[in-house]
Amino acid sequence: MILFELFPAYTASAAIVAFALSLLVGSFLNVIIYRLPVMMEREWQEAVQSANQPDVTPDTSTFNLAHPRSRCQECGHLIRWFENIPVVSWLFLKGKCSQCGTSISTRYPLIEFFSACVGGFIGWQFGFTTLGLALLVFTWALIALTFIDIDHQLLPDAITLPLLWLGLLLNSFELITTLEDAVWGAMLGYLSLWSVYWLFKLATGKEGMGFGDFKLLAAIGAWGGVLTLPMTILFSSVAGVLFAMVMMAIGKQQANNPMPFGPYLAIAGWCAILWGGPILSWYL
């Protein structure tokens, strides 16, 4: 059920709006990708310190998604608003800090541009619809999770759990699938990887994946329903194994080193929901 369709015919304008919006959000995703794991680390350290060494005062200076304001990591130069325009500022500054000339990672504009392109695609496919807006939010969350997992081998609950609840909420209006299908999707998504984890652990004594992976697959199931799960698991496993084999072949990855599974789940789940599940009938 589509809640509203403003101008379903003007998908080109929807693509442009979604592109621009995702460019701005991409800039915020960079902040989340960098700061959320630091915030979790600080919380964790505070907890450990208060349990073990009550006399040691932890670093309590404010650090969240908004404070302190972004600075050059080299010289401390405060990033002004016009130096913070997605992609444009980076190009204008030629990828360097305006104060000290230290180069700024190409990763920031690339994540912004990537978010904008994927967002633009969603706008083009789904127009100004509730489904289009919902899928944009879904896509942005997956982008943040992917890069946090690549950096830290971590999928924060602060993103996976709200994503799961949002999927159930939207499907209580049957946005993508029925609520019953969504609930089963969330449950089986969690339990399937949870079972694999325990079987692997009992058989080898090692941990093959993290609890964040179960929660991410549960969220994907909550959005797309049960039918998206087999496809997501199949695609992500095949892609993960192929990538690991390539990396091992070129000597960049040891067989025993852990590698993040979240990015494969995110990409496979995104494709499964767009092309493999109930949305397919929406296209046709």
The DSSP 8-state label assigned to residue 62 in this structure reads -
Contact assessment for residue 63 and residue 38, using Cβ atoms and an 8 Å cutoff: yes
Residues 164-203 binding Zn ion (CB under 5 A) are: none
Of 72, 134, 155, 220, the one binding Zn ion by CB under 5 A: 72
Task: Output the smallest distance, CB 27 to Zn ion, in A.
Answer: 19
x-or-dash string of contact with Zn ion, 75-114, rule CB under 5 A: x-x-------------------x-xx-x------------
Short-list 30, 154, 160, 43, CA closest to 87: 30
Binding region for Zn ion (CB under 5 A) out of 23-31, 71-79, 115-123, 181-189:
71-79
Task: Output the smallest distance, CB 37 to Zn ion, in A.
Answer: 23
Q: DSSP string spanning 129-187?
A: BHHHHHHHHHHHHHHHHHHHHHHHS---HHHHHHHHHHHHHHHTTTSSS-HHHHHHHHH
274 binds Zn ion (CB under 5 A): no
Contact assessment for residue 33 and residue 151, using Cβ atoms and an 8 Å cutoff: yes
Tell me the number of residues near Zn ion by CB under 5 A: 8
Contact assessment for residue 120 and residue 16, using Cβ atoms and an 8 Å cutoff: yes
Contact assessment for residue 31 and residue 2, using Cβ atoms and an 8 Å cutoff: no
Task: Output the smallest distance, CB 73 to Zn ion, in A.
Answer: 8
Task: Output the smallest distance, CB 70 to Zn ion, in A.
Answer: 11
Binding region for Zn ion (CB under 5 A) out of 26-34, 68-76, 211-219, 253-261:
68-76
Task: Output the smallest distance, CB 75 to Zn ion, in A.
Answer: 3
The contact set with Zn ion (CB under 5 A) reads 72, 74-75, 77, 97, 99-100, 102
